[in-house]
Every structure is written in structure tokens, then in C-alpha cells.
Structure 1
């Protein structure tokens, strides 16, 4: 979350307080599983394995309202209309992980995408439930947003063409943020989906971690908030994930250019594989359709995805590409490009005979 060119802090608080009261999050949208699309598995020539693909987009839609942003309504509406059109044409991602769905226009855009299953992250007033998570130390920079009062929700949502059979959300909580990021009730959201024919459900996680310079507080302070949030994210995943299930984690991790933040995050997420690192090391197995510069392209972006295998289902990225980056007829409509990953889910036919749980 970042704020640029805003008026006085008191005016900012007054306007955002009013805006927060006008932004109502939609209730969960859960479609009847009996009407879920059924993908056709591809079987190997020797019939020892079967596989389907799962296409996941993570996208920070820059859905802040005035005065943090001006004139975002048209671009947000176009994002929603574009994904709705791609869905009608059968070319949309199967899953979308959204960040910065703060304004009423952003909520309308996400709803307009038309996915049959949708859950949203922590609301403005949701309180944390996880115990034992430390808080930031004072003195608090109330003039920089550290008032202990959240003016908007987390801005998170997960949308899926496949049934969502379980979901949960958890905010980082009061005084577990730094600077202007504290104006939103940032946190984490989880959805478990089932894909007909796949022998295990898939756990999906979406998050938005504390920003760096945009937080308007010193690096030591915003870095400490990021550290606390990374620990909470790991705790939330452990508590929410189904034992032995495959999982995909995405979001805006706010680690661009920071080896310190990245190394700290990877030290607590070692059971996940980073898509950028896998595809950089396995170019013959992963179709990279976007420009990656330098030796560590994962440090050139805030937007990442990670994955891990399940007990019965192996997960591997087979294609990565950008969306809404000005190419392929999709104009840039946010200050972030969408990051789209196509995964191959592979299992043995014997595993497919076992009932999926969820």
C-alpha cells in the first residue's frame, strides 16, 4: 500500500475515514460444486500419470481511493470488464489473487470479473485471533498512520472458477505494521479449492506485506514490521493448510530490491519453492514469456508466487507471463503488472481413485 501526493495528514484521515464507511465488502460467493467445470486430464502414454493445468494470476489492482489516488475508477472498471470478457472467451486465469481492493470502485471491479467463487480477506474491523504473535514497539508514529485504527480493510480477495470448500482470513493486527501501511487492516486470506478429478484439494494463500519507502517511516521500522508479518504468515499457513495438500502462495510481498527482506522471508518459507527461482533454473521445463533481467529476477518485483507438492499431487510451474503490462492487447491499468503462472498438477491414476478431502 502506498500513498503519493496527498494533502495534510489530518485531511487524509478525515477523507479516508469517510471513504472507509462507504466501502462495503461483499459476502463470500460460493457456487454449487455440482456445477463446477470438469477439466479433462491428460494421461501419459504409459498410463502411469495423469495431469491437469491450473492457471493462477496474482494482481495488485491499485484500488486505492482519493486522495491516495485520483481517477482510478475507469481503469479499475476496465480490469473487471477485461477479466469478465476473458472468462467468456475461455482465456481467463482459473484463480485470481487480488491485492489493494480498498475502494468501492475496486470492489465493484472485482465483483464484475464474474468468478463463481470469491472470498475476501480481513475487513476493516476484523480482529486477529492467532495468539502469541509479537507487536511493534513504540513510540508509535501516529502522524504517519500508526494510530491503532484501521481505515480500510486488507484489500485481499481470492477468486476461483473451481469450488471453494474452505476459507479463512486473519489480519496482522493492531500495532503489527509500520507507517502508512497501518491505515489498512493488512493480513492474509486462505481458500481451499477442489478440482474435479484431482485427488487432493489445493490450498491457496494470498497476502500483502508491509511496504518499504512508501510506508514513510525509516527502513529499520518498516523492516521490523515486515519481519513480524512474515512470521505471522508462516503461522497462518501452518494453521490453515490441510496436512499433505498441495499449496500455492501469492501476493504483493514488498521485497523488491531488498535481499534482507527476501532472505528473511525465504528462511521461514522453505517448504515452498519460488516460481521465479524454479523457472530460472529450469528454462527447458518452464516457458518464460516475460522479461527477466539480472541474476535474481525475483528481486525486481513485489509480485511473487510460490508452490509446494502434496502427498498425492505434484505441482510444477510450466509457464509464466505478465498480464495488464501493455502487451497482448491488455493495457497497463495498475502500478503493478499481473503475474500469471500456469501450473501442472500431476498424479498417478491409483491416487485418483482415492476420494478427495476438504
Structure 2
């Protein structure tokens, strides 16, 4: 037990101290730069799980994260930067450092610690079977890794962290949950609610799939309830993140009902159906949809409608220098009033 806690503390310290960006061995302007559009739209949003994990959990991440910041800065120099970025696994101060490197005016961080409102949120039996060596009984040791970067003013923020015990396996070491930001996009006439979330993983938890799926279903229901309280039914919304659904029937059933009240639409799937993916990004975009983990949903408001115009993948997986095990993709929207 002492060894595990020492490792956890060293891991956390390593993570929190690894946020300074430096020159990396990766290129900030990859050979697939031609897939970038000449200009991003006024409402453009990217979701990207940057795999900001520390050594010894992952190696080589400092250089990769440095390259992400440099590439975002290069995109800004080409006026192709997404106006809003949803980051997952941006642990420690990584989001702040990335935001500064990429020139984002607003950086909003997610929850810092797990909630404590219910000692046994999934019931006594689930709590009694918690495995300390799998990270389930030490509490959150690092923050949520959620962040929102924005070029436009953020007028309101809300956060929700899953309570201790409402998680499975190594995921419990991070204060996963939901981050909301009301953002004043030009031309919208009212703030658009931007939501970023990261739900419990499955294969990487170190515990049984059944246990991971139970925690997942609880988190989905909790997110749905939280958003029903925080979001006005008339507010336009963009909801992205790493949902970790995959092809698992139990997880697909858990998310079969919309997270937010009213019809919400899978933005990337919609753009693919309309054939509006930027040249060079089609294969990556189809794989993101097929993988069924990383999403950007959208919902119209009572006074303004969001219309997906194009999508593209500036951070692909299938490249000479993939910077994460997830792709970072952008959807550009227009507004209709």
C-alpha cells in the first residue's frame, strides 16, 4: 500500500510539473497541413483528448504536448485556429500553458477534486468491492484534465465532478466530470453553452468491464441530470468530449437518450453525411465516428440555430507524427436567427 501511494504521489508531482512547453522533436507544421482550411468560421470548435498523462503511465508526452501548443500557434498564424478548444486529459497546468502558447485569451479549467456528496453513490456492494491498488479508494489525486480554450469572452462557468466512488479503476485517480462555459460568440445574439466532458474508460481501468460499465452508466445519468438543471431549454448548446462509449452495447444503451433536453445532433456524423469534410480529413473523420468515443453534439436554441458547415482533422492519428492516441477534430458552424 505504501508503494502504491508513493507511486501515485510521484506520478502526480511529475504530471503537475510537466506543463512547461519547450522545443520538441515533433513538427508544428506537419505534411498534412494542406488539410487545414484557409480560414476557420466564427463558430468553430475542436475536441481533443491530448493524452496528457505523466511518466511512468505514458512516456514522451512532454514533447508531444509541446508540439500540440506549437501546432495550435501555427494554425492561428494561418487564421485556421478553432475559436474554441475542448481538451481532455490536460492535467495539471497543461491547459493554461497550451492556451498561452496558442494565443487563446480565455482558459477555463474543470473540476479540481472529486465530489463528496454521497459516500456510496453506486451502492454498498460496489463500494465494498473497491480496489485500493486499482486507484479506487485513494480519492482523486489529480484534477479532471478538462479545459476549454476560447478566443471569445466566457461569461459564466459551472463545474461538476463525479463524487468519490462513482468511478471504476484507475479513472478514480482523476476528478473527471463536466465543465460548462457560456461563451459570447459574435453574431449569436446570446451566449452559447459549451460543454466538455470525460466519462469513465473501460479497457484501461484495471478492473472488470462489468464494473467499469456500471460506473459509466451512473456517470451518464448524473451528467444528464446535471445538465437538465444548468441548461435552459432555450439555450443553444455545443457538447463535446471523450464519451468513451465505443461499440459496447451496455454503453450505447446508456447514451441512447440525449444528454441534453431536446434533440441534439452528432455534428461530425452530420457533416460526413453531407459530404462536407475538408479534403484529406475524410478517412480520419470516418474513423472517429466509427470509434464512437470523441463527439461534438449540438443543439439549436430558441432564437438561434447552429448549422454545421464543415469538419476537418488537424490532429490526426494516422500520420507520421501522431500527437495522441485520439484524433483532434474541428467542426465549423454558421448561425441562423
Q: What is the TM-score when the length of structure 2 is the normalising length?
A: 0.82
Q: Distance in 2 between matches of 1:88 and 1:318?
A: 22
Preserved CA contact (<8 Å) 1:20 1:151: no
**Match in the other structure for 1:118:** 107
**Match in the other structure for 1:307:** 298
> How many Å apart are 1:69 and its aligned residue?
1.3
1:126-137 alignment, distance < 5 Å: 127=115, 134-135=121-122, 137=126
Q: Distance in 2 between matches of 1:116 and 1:305?
A: 22
CA RMSD of aligned residues (A): 2.9
**Match in the other structure for 2:91:** 102
Q: What is the TM-score when the length of structure 1 is the normalising length?
A: 0.77
- Where 1:62 maps in the other structure, the secondary structure is coil
1:337 aligns with 2:327: yes
- Where 1:227 maps in the other structure, the secondary structure is helix
Q: CA deviation digits over 1:39-66, x for unaligned, max 9?
A: xxxxxxxxxxxxx741110001111111
**Match in the other structure for 1:13:** 8
Q: Distance in 2 between matches of 1:188 and 1:333?
A: 24
Q: Distance in 2 between matches of 1:21 and 1:250?
A: 25
1:246 aligns with 2:251: no
Q: Distance in 2 between matches of 1:239 and 1:96?
A: 24
> How many Å apart are 1:117 and its aligned residue?
1.2
Q: CA deviation digits over 1:78-98, x for unaligned, max 9?
A: 111111222233110011000
Preserved CA contact (<8 Å) 1:75 1:334: yes
> How many Å apart are 1:236 and its aligned residue?
2.1
1:291 to 283, 306, 310: 283
Report how many residues are paired. 308
Q: Distance in 1 between matches of 2:255 and 2:119?
A: 19
1:235 to 217, 225, 232: 225
More divergent stretch after superposition (216-225 vs 231-240): 231-240
**Match in the other structure for 1:177:** 167
**Match in the other structure for 1:192:** 182
Preserved CA contact (<8 Å) 1:121 1:157: yes
Q: Distance in 1 between matches of 2:143 and 2:18?
A: 9
Q: Distance in 2 between matches of 1:308 and 1:302?
A: 19
Q: Distance in 2 between matches of 1:253 and 1:262?
A: 10
